Chains A and B, each alone.
Chain A
Amino acid sequence: MSETNFDIVIIGGGPGGYVAAIRAAQLGFKTAVVEREHLGGICLNWGCIPTKALLRSAEILDHVNQARHYGLTLNGEITADIKAIVARSRKVSDRLNGGVGFLMKKNKVGVIWGEARITGPGEIRVDKSAKPAVEPRRPAPAGAMGEGVYTARHIILATGARPRALPGLEPDGKLIWTYFEAMKPAELPKSILVMGSGAIGIEFASFYRSMGVDVTVVEVMDQIMPVEDAEISQIARKAMEKRGMKIFTDARVVRVDKAANAITAHIQISNGKTLQITADRMISAVGVVGNVEELGLETLGVNTEQGRVVIDDYGRTSVAGVYAIGDVTGPPMLAHKAEHEGVICVEKIADLDHLHPMEKSRIPGCTYCTPQIASVGLTEAEARQAGREIRIGRFPFSANGKAIALGEDHGMVKTVFDVGTGELLGAHMIGAEVTELIQGFVVAMGMETTEEELMHTVFPHPTLSEMMHESVLDAYGRAIHT
């Protein structure tokens, strides 16, 4: 007879939910996770991880296509086998999905398989999930509990988010895709129109472009990747246009006409004119909305607004004993933000000492398009808007020895400092491997270093990280290699 009474039950086994569950188990709470289709959530099954696998294939393809620049001759032809690329991506997800199942077992976290609804204070009813978001649904992990009524002193909502659908432009799974379909195409279309240039849109645009697909990006804001620093975004746009992408900003898809195997998008551009672009497929990547429905929140009186659960600094909702973390609580909708929120939430329940709310201004963001983009903190414009007097440092990849040796001499490291205090307010990078570099600045910000410590830090030579040092020096007019 399986247990039905827990200290903490977490609804949703994505990166926020399963990490919170492990932390709760570490703290001695009797913990269970309710999951309706896949441990690891979107991140691990249909998001962050499988796209990285796809983009790795794209990157290797790009490298091979550049082989002659490195003195290598390819005798024969390199072809992208989309079925095999997708299969590899799925295998990567499978492996990690199994890994989460193992972690649950190892930490003695119960897994309850099905769709949860809070039926009263501390009470959850789990039913068989009616309609999975994606087919095929993964089978329940071995040893999972099933439908029934469960009780918990604390219930944490970690239900995540799903693609936003714009009225009239709703994804249909055939001609208009979301990331679900874009992740596992049966064959490569000849042309794709990507609506939205956030991380998801731009990563798919980058992937399909590398695969040789004719890609058009339509962004409603005045720059691609609207959350990034304008200067970085501009460099990205140029690099992507050079790769053959067509990019329209200040542009809005107003209507889509569907043919048998193509769409025609009517796009309103800034000067009031309308463009028509025909493509085989369209990817709708206009953001995500929180999964707040059918959880029993209205009955319970949990406060929600605009598709997200309202929480305080420690994940507490308006109802005692009910908490929420991750995408369902609103932006930034990032797995690492969800994980950290989950940990803080559980530690607050445990009433640990020295807890502090997450510093939202220090959450980094990474986009794995080509060229890569990574950033943390305030953009130059945000810093100015906040009334800060700032110093800007810039250092180009073209002046870094390692970048040149790699044949990756396009990109920039940009830093934003507060003039008065030397506080590092933001760091913005574009170019090869910057997603792996940004943590250096994230740690620096977390430790509250000023420009002085960064200047006195010895960066290893020859590395791309030297550009981080030089960018700091440049902010104070002391860069060596420019």
Chain B
Amino acid sequence: MPIEILMPALSPTMEEGTLSKWNVKEGDTVSSGDVIAEIETDKAAMEVEAVDEGVIGKILIEEGAEGVKVNTLIALLLAEGEGQSAVQSHIAGEVAPAATSGSAAASTSDIIPVAGLPPAPASGEHRIKASPLARRLARDAGLELGAVAGSGPQGRIIKRDVQAAMAQPTPVSSASAAHATAPVAIPSPMDEVEPLAKYGVSLDRYALVTADNITKISADRLSESFRDIPHFPLNMDCRVDALLQFRKEINAKAPEGVKVSVNDILIKASGLALKKVPQANASWIGDGRIALHKHADISVAVAIEGGLITPIVRDADQKGLVEISVEMKTLAARARERKLKPEEFQGGTFSLSNLGMFGVRSFASIINPPQGMILSVGAGEERPAVIDGALAKAMMMTVTLTCDHRVVDGAKGARWLAAFKGFLEDPMTMLM
């Protein structure tokens, strides 16, 4: 019997993805560990490796297919001695009887469209255990039983489980707030052919392109964050002459090939400030609780082609500047190649975004849920400053801290900023 290759889940919350590339074609021999395909999700492109050896008997999902559900059968691998007939019978018998009836005598190169496949093929499907009453309550509420956690005997879904699920504000699992894709309300029916017609912009004046997954998911998440989180900005000017001097000295003594950037130092200072003001390292949880983070894991915004991604420097307070610099360099490089693993960009406790290199003086970023704060760093520049009672030149940098007021109020945010500024203006203290 052919071995089924299923759409993998790259993260626990992934529900679907784009099958961006097939590296093999039907008839190719693969061995365990070979990269056979690439999958793109909201944040990363991932390689799919073969776990068994054999011959690719059939590719069922074509390259470029979007919205492929996790666990969908994407290809069949033939074991030694199995011929194409095994593929035929497998598809006819197990995958989609409906699909084989019409365009039945599917040639081996036929592609079964995604829509024709059942949401979860036989091997990935489990019978949902639920009481009759629970089934009816869920049906009446339009609730997917599969999305309800069962608390009855052996995980059976019973009345109270459905009622609890119905009581939740959105059908989206609350645990996946970071990935929640709450639909954005569209005020009036959209003209699909000419989507901007109602704004008076005619089609001949723009080109329509399809956004990639990253952009689509970001759009939803950012809208949700900006709309639902009571956020506010706090500005602070930091004098960075000492910081620049400190960096110069470090780089003079740094190992060959390592060059500590200002951003690397800001990562370290952020981590230290989070440890110094731990109340600010927090996440609001929908049910009225607050998560107080034990680690200072800094998500650092990196611009990549087609979007933005935030690789994480974990425990930034405990790492040396050289270590941070090296780590950040590889993370950024791998981010640009879209080779980050989910755990490398999911789960930070605080974000840092720096547009200083573009000459931006100050800006306020949108909070990256479920984090409580994000710091926006502007350009370091010479500005007039009053030093010791006299007007003088100083290197100044404006930073803006956007806070989720539910966990970080003004005073808390200000204390964090003061701690951060203290590290920047007297960099030696970062080493204590």
Contacts and interface: CB of A to CB of B under 8 A. Distances in A.
Interface of A: 354, 356, 420-423, 447-450, 452-453
B151 A448 contact: no
Nearest 6 CB-CB pairs, A to B? A448-B131, A448-B133, A450-B132, A449-B132, A453-B132, A423-B133
A420 B163 CA distance: 14
A447 B131 contact: yes
Contacts of B276: none
Given A420-B140, A423-B159, A448 B134 contact: yes
A423 B159 CA distance: 10
B151 A356 contact: yes
Nearest to A452: B132
Interface string B208-235: 0000000000000000000000000000
Interface string B132-168: 1110110010000000000101000011000000000
Given A420-B140, A421-B140, A422-B136, A449 B131 contact: yes
Contacts of A354: 151, 153
* Among A421, A452, A453, residue most surrounded by chain B Cβ atoms (within 10 Å): A421
B130 to A, nearest CB: 9
Interface residues of B, number: 11
Contacts of A448: 131-134, 158-159
Given A421-B140, A448-B134, A453-B132, 16 more contacts: A354-B153, A421-B137, A423-B133, A447-B131, A447-B132, A448-B131, A448-B132, A448-B133, A448-B159, A449-B131, A449-B132, A449-B133, A450-B132, A450-B133, A450-B136, A452-B132
A356 B140 CA distance: 25
Nearest to B160: A356
Contacts of B151: 354, 356
A448 B140 CA distance: 16
Contacts of A447: 131-132
Contacts, number: 28
Interface string B101-142: 000000000000000000000000000000111101100100
B133 A421 contact: yes
A423 B134 CA distance: 10
A365 B133 CA distance: 23
20 contacts: A354-B151, A356-B151, A421-B133, A421-B136, A422-B133, A422-B136, A423-B133, A447-B131, A447-B132, A448-B131, A448-B132, A448-B133, A448-B158, A448-B159, A449-B131, A449-B132, A449-B133, A450-B136, A452-B132, A453-B132
Nearest to A449: B132
A154 B213 CA distance: 57
A453 B135 CA distance: 12
Contacts of B158: 448
In the complex, which of the residues B134, B137, B140 has the most CB atoms of chain A within 10 Å of its own CB atom? B137
B313 to A, nearest CB: 38
A452 B131 CA distance: 12
Contacts of B133: 421-423, 448-450
A452 B133 CA distance: 10
A225 B133 CA distance: 31
Nearest to A422: B136
Residue with the greatest number of chain A CB neighbours at <10 A, chosen from B133, B136, B137, B159: B133
Contacts of B134: 448
A452 B132 CA distance: 9
Contacts of B131: 447-449
Nearest to B159: A448
A334 B153 CA distance: 25
B367 to A, nearest CB: 37
Contacts of A452: 132
